[in-house]
Amino acid sequence: MDLSKIKLIAPYSVEGVENVTINQAYSYLRKCKVVTVDTETSVHPLYVGIGSGLDPYTSMLISLQIGDENQQFVIDTRYVNIGLISKILTSKSIIKLGVNLKFDFKMIKHHLGVELENIYDIGLAEAVLNCGLKASWSLAAISEKYLNLNLNSKQLSLFENYVSKNTVKDYEKLAYDDLTLELIKYSAADVVIPSLAYPKILKKVKENQLTKTVSLENNFTKVVARWELRGIKLDPQKWLDLLAKNKKQLADTEYQLNRYLIDNNLEHYLGINWNSSKQIVPLFKELDIPIQIIDKKNSIGQEIVYKNTVGKAHVGKYKSKYDILPIYLSYKKLQTAVNTYGFKFLTNVNPISKRVHTDIYQILNTGRVSSSDPNMQNIPATEEFRACFVAEKNKTFIVCDYSSQESRILAEYANEESMIDFVINGDGDFHSFTAVKMFGEVTSQNRPIAKMLNFAIAYGASAHKISDSAQVSMKQAQEWINMFFTSYPALKLYFEKQQKFALSKGYHLIDSVTKRRSYLQDYNEFKNVEQFINNSLLLHPSYKIPSKVWSTYFKLKGGYERDAQNFRIQGTGGSMTKLAAVLFDKEMEKLGWSNRAYIVNIVHDEINVECDISISNRVSKILKRSMENAGKVFVKKLPMTAVPKISEFLIK
């Protein structure tokens, strides 16, 4: 690294680095078409022990570095007002590069009051390029892959010649000390590396026709950053009241379980830990409850290995046959409510903002998002739990979700005329419609079967899976599957087409609008195994192919085929919701309402907005329009209806 290219903007000097002014930096940067932006933070001295340097509310912004491969400006933001640099950050004509830019967006927004515009996250671009694969998109991984540079720390560090392994720790304890030469070089490197990697990544994105996907993700990053920074308000007292109620019900349910033991001459199990699977297994065995399942991880070919499970997904299938199971399943549900969503959950309330801030992982294998720390997509959907999340004073929530989003996408993709006609002209009860198609009429007995098949087949469930879930014979399960595909013949052709495409191309084409792809993990291994099998059968027909080879082949092929049936549906829905959020966010910007109406959560096909009560009716119409307009981009034949509801808490 050439030290002459690094410029320091600070009220002190560091030997070997030239000091410049904000105006000098601006004069250079305003001529650039692309600049890289990065921030360095540390926990604020006032919040040591209760916060971190990764939290905008408990951190202090140490430095902002900006520039390109030719000039890197390191600004000590503790002492220097960025002034004209804000024009660069907010410019819609200058591209701002970076890795994990949602982090920098939040820090710059919170500490400097400026929002980044026209961002291009090369990390997200790399995630798009490798969607479906086990690949890292950290700065370290990008620098090694595209620049052949080996970074010596987990992320956001420079190669060994310039920075030691203790550099990150130096930042963490910096507080108000001057930046050292090593820290300045570290910061500058985080500008140089994305600047050098960008042209190579951009070329690869274009070659793979993923420009629209990357554009959507970069636009959505701004939504995610605002969403995470805003957070959502949780009423602690409501939460604690619900916890107390659930604890009492848990104790009552535990009493019922113990009462069952006494009433059924099973006193020798009294004192059992109902949270211990190991202790429950002998009891369920004695009650002849089927708890043995195939251990897929350790089974090879025809060598089947079994294991015991008392998980709710398995034993729940037998709850109508064994009196203890409804009580046990209720206990497990309450246990989760008390433990996962109990007192500990309140530690997620930020000590400064007094709101809950989730962390969004933007690109899963399908292109959908996930939430963690805490998982706001997995909050129990009961009214009691959702009522604990409340709007601020003089504000309200707007909860808006798509009506049958995945079913409509599937109907369009498969061009299944009867499904399309039902969406347009039907009464909305798709499960009853399927029951009539399959059985000639709908009854209380066959509607649950139709409902199960509507979901199961879309997710690639086999006759074995349906047989196990419904506790019917394999023959019966296969008959249902045949009846389902007879009712919807276009679906079978569509699924087969998608499976053939994935197996031949090595990826799932999620949609034809953004051309998002999801690559098949271990595809090269699959093709090698397939070639070995084909060659063996052709050249050595008497050779017995090892069962392990067949097991590997069918395991990979089966997984690819199941994913082929649903990845497009989930992924298109995910992209649709992302676009809807982007459109809504832009509408709020145009109206100058970004601080009056904003997204606080997204759960798959549902967008939650908090807004001023005085504009809630108008905002609900804008949210509905944004979602339906996004739907039109991806689905042409069917209306993607969105239904908004205004409420003081997150109604379902």
pLDDT tens-digit map of 123-151? 999 999 999 999 999 999 999 999 998 87
Secondary structure of residue 175 in the 3-state scheme: coil
pLDDT at residue 491 above 70? yes
- Between the alpha carbon of residue 563 and those of residues 381, 498, 523, the distances in Å are 26, 9, 13
At residue 160, the pLDDT reads 37
The H or E element that residue 61 is part of is: strand 59-67
Pick the residue with more confidence: 343 or 464? 343
628 phi, psi to nearest 5 deg:
-70, -35
| 309, 291 Cβ separation under 8 angstroms | yes
At residue 294, the pLDDT reads 78
Angle between helices 139-147 and 181-207 (to 10 degrees): 70
Output b/e per residue, 296-328; b: 16+ Cβ within 10 A.
eeeebeeeeeeebbbeeebbeeebeebebbebb
| 40, 206 Cβ separation under 8 angstroms | no
| C-beta atoms surrounding 170 within 10 Å | 17
At residue 163, the pLDDT reads 46
The CA distance from 404 to 451, in Å, is 13
Which pLDDT band holds residue 156 (cuts at 50, 70, 90)? very low
| C-beta atoms surrounding 355 within 10 Å | 18
| 32, 94 Cβ separation under 8 angstroms | yes
pLDDT at residue 55 above 90? yes
* Amino acid identity, position 359: D
At residue 652, the pLDDT reads 74
At residue 381, the pLDDT reads 86
Pairing of strands 59-67, 72-76: antiparallel
The encoded tokens of residue 650 equal 């997150």
Pick the residue with more confidence: 615 or 458? 615
The encoded tokens of residue 537 equal 């059968």
| 581, 223 Cβ separation under 8 angstroms | yes
How far from each other are the two terminal CA atoms of the chain, in whole angstroms?
Answer: 55
Q: Is the peptide bond before 282 cis (omega within 30 degrees of 0)?
A: no
Residue found under tokens 């049936």: 565
Lowest mean pLDDT: which of 137-146, 300-309, 415-424, 476-485? 300-309
pLDDT at residue 158 above 80? no
pLDDT at residue 303 above 90? no
The CA distance from 250 to 255, in Å, is 9
pLDDT at residue 162 above 50? no
The CA distance from 91 to 412, in Å, is 40
The CA distance from 141 to 85, in Å, is 29
At residue 495, the pLDDT reads 95
Secondary structure of residue 113 in the 3-state scheme: coil
Lowest mean pLDDT: which of 95-109, 238-252, 414-428? 414-428
At residue 167, the pLDDT reads 60
- Mean pLDDT along residues 99-124: 98
The H or E element that residue 37 is part of is: strand 34-43
- Give the rounded percent of residues in the chain with a pLDDT score beyond 70: 96
DSSP class of residue 267? Answer: G
- Sheet strand arrangement including 597-603: 597-603, 606-612, 395-402, 642-647
pTM for this predicted structure: 0.92
The CA distance from 86 to 324, in Å, is 65
- Mean pLDDT along residues 325-342: 95
Secondary structure of residue 608 in the 3-state scheme: strand
Pick the residue with more confidence: 371 or 458? 371
Angle between helices 547-591 and 211-230 (to 10 degrees): 70
Delineate the domains of the chain, giving CATH numbers in brackets. 3-208 (3.30.420.10), 240-333 (no CATH), 359-404+573-647 (3.30.70.370), 407-571 (1.10.150.20)
The encoded tokens of residue 512 equal 């034809």
Q: What is the mean pLDDT of the chain?
A: 93
Q: Comparing C-alpha atoms, which of 441, 317, 398, 328 is closest to residue 623? A: 398
pLDDT at residue 172 above 80? no
Q: Comparing C-alpha atoms, which of 403, 493, 487, 491 is closest to residue 446? A: 487
| 42, 56 Cβ separation under 8 angstroms | no
Q: Comparing C-alpha atoms, which of 492, 485, 510 is closest to residue 566? A: 510
Which pLDDT band holds residue 582 (cuts at 50, 70, 90)? very high
The CA distance from 602 to 232, in Å, is 12
pLDDT at residue 254 above 50? yes
- Between the alpha carbon of residue 36 and those of residues 29, 81, 124, 194, 388, the distances in Å are 10, 19, 15, 7, 41
35 phi, psi to nearest 5 deg:
-135, 155
At residue 149, the pLDDT reads 87
Which pLDDT band holds residue 302 (cuts at 50, 70, 90)? low
At residue 214, the pLDDT reads 98
At residue 202, the pLDDT reads 98
- Between the alpha carbon of residue 257 and those of residues 10, 15, 250, 294, 313, the distances in Å are 68, 73, 11, 28, 19
The H or E element that residue 495 is part of is: helix 489-505
- Mean pLDDT along residues 370-383: 93
pLDDT at residue 153 above 70? no
The CA distance from 504 to 569, in Å, is 20
| 463, 526 Cβ separation under 8 angstroms | no
pLDDT at residue 293 above 90? no
pLDDT tens profile 202-232: 999 999 999 999 999 999 999 999 999 999 9
Output b/e per residue, 191-228; b: 16+ Cβ within 10 A.
bbbbbbbbeebbeebeeeebeebbebbbbbbbbbbbbb
Residue found under tokens 């398995």: 314
Which pLDDT band holds residue 168 (cuts at 50, 70, 90)? low
